Amino acid sequence: MRKGSKIYSVFHFLCPKCHEGRFFISAPYRLKTTGDVEESCNKCGNNNMLEPGFYQGAMYVSYGLGVALFVGIWAGTSFFTPGMQSWLQISLVAISSIGLSPLLYSLSKIIYANIFIRYDMDAVAKHTKPLK
């Protein structure tokens, strides 16, 4: 995972354009501001709000992450503890879905932004003005 890859931006919650500035206002588990995106990057000036309602498309990414979580927990419990009752598996899925929902919400937004915003290694240099 090096700077310049989309996965670097996703796992570090950094600006998709420069991979240096913050993408979110706060950490995922600050419930008051969970998923609130910085309007523009403080390092490169990239506009993170491409258009009104842009992040509504992140619902599809969130759905995929939720399904992956469900399948992972269900398959893991079925494989490692084959005698586990269904109600216990459902409880594990429900509890983990609720507990991880702020993280999945934030991840869905940063993944969606990385689909549409390309990395530019010179973005910070273009944004800063040279000193005279």
**Is 1 part of a structural domain of the chain?**
no
Rounded distance, CA 101 to CA 103, Å? 5
pLDDT in tens, the chain (132 residues): 788 889 999 999 999 999 989 999 999 999 899 889 999 988 888 898 888 889 999 999 999 999 999 999 999 999 999 888 999 999 999 999 999 999 999 999 999 999 999 988 887 777 666 555
Torsion of CA 29, 57, 65, 20, to 10 degrees: -50
Q: Position of tokens 């998709």?
A: 16
pTM: 0.86
**Is 16 part of a structural domain of the chain?**
yes
- Residue 85 has a pLDDT of 92
Residues in a beta bridge with 40: 47
User: Which among 8, 116, 15, 16 is positioned nearest to 56, based on CA atoms?
Assistant: 116
Q: What are 95-120's pLDDT values in tens digits?
A: 999 999 999 999 999 999 999 999 88
- Residue 131 has a pLDDT of 53
**Is 114 part of a structural domain of the chain?**
yes
- Residue 22 has a pLDDT of 92
Total tally of structural domains belonging to the chain? 1
- Residue 112 has a pLDDT of 95
**Is 39 part of a structural domain of the chain?**
yes
User: Which among 51, 48, 19, 44 is positioned nearest to 36, based on CA atoms?
Assistant: 48
The domain containing residue 121 runs over which residues? Answer: 6-127
Rounded distance, CA 50 to CA 113, Å? 9
**Is 36 part of a structural domain of the chain?**
yes
**Is 132 part of a structural domain of the chain?**
no
- Residue 1 has a pLDDT of 74
